[in-house]
Structure 1
């Protein structure tokens, strides 16, 4: 099963500041451990919302809103995608990242083709 581990943006990342060396090292250790365990598919940070946009289409009309966006707690700071045996294993890895970052981490299962089968309980 694939899971996306999502860390939230914070005021520093939204200001375009690089993380403190200790923080970068702690997160790097978790990512390195994920890689050594053979479960890491990818890990990426994202640029601050000031460099992004939100796109909405309603009644055939497109609206583009340029960043920055004000609700930092709702913004993604980075994602890690892992392939693990269970939700519990994904949560264990997320807990390690949460400890390294000192923040809340979200864990979401990635939808797979089998999830659309007639016996699926996902949807």
Structure 2
């Protein structure tokens, strides 16, 4: 089963200067472990919120709005696509990902199974 993990970040909970060198090193180790285990299919961070564009449909009318979106209480900062035997396994990998961030971050994962085409 494939799972999409959306990395949700509270902008107020990001340490000054962003991820530390130590965090990036630990992230690299985890990504390597997940890749060798055949779990990680794809992962990436996303461009900053102020570089995003929102395309919205409301009442039949399409609107294109450029960021930043100051009303956002959280934003999707990245994603990971994994291949796991169960949702529980996907959650365990997600917990490990969050744990390496330490206590300076306000961050959450939304883990959802990818619905396969019929």
Answer yes or no: is 1:74 the counterpart of 2:74: yes
Give the TM-score, by structure 2 length.
Answer: 0.81
Q: Does 1:21 align with 2:25?
A: no
TM-score, normalization: structure 1?
A: 0.78
Query: Unaligned regions of 5+ residues in structure 1, if any?
Result: 115-123
The reply on whether 1:4 has 2:4 as its aligned counterpart is: yes
1:104 paired residue among 85, 104, 108: 108
Point out the structure with the larger strand share.
Answer: 2
Cα offset, 1:9, TM superposition? 3.0
CA contact (8 A) 1:2 1:81 kept: yes
Paired with 2:117 and 2:4, the residues of 1 have a C-alpha distance of 16
| Structure 2 match to 1:83 | 83
Output one character per residue of 1:49-100: Cα deviation in whole Å (capped at 9) or x when no partner.
1101111123442211111122554311110100111001000100000101
RMSD: 2.2
Count of aligned pairs between the two proteins: 112
Q: Which is helix-richer, 1 or 2? A: 1
Tell me how far apart the structure 2 counterparts of residues 58 and 104 of structure 1 sit (CA, whole Å): 28
Counterparts of 1:24 and 1:72 in 2: how far apart (Å)?
25
Whole-angstrom CA distance in 1 between matches of 2:96 and 2:42: 16
Which of structures 1 and 2 has the larger relative contact order (alpha carbons within 8 angstroms, sep 6+)?
A: 2
Given that 2:11 and 2:73 are in contact with CA atoms closer than 8 Å, whether structure 1 keeps it comes out as no
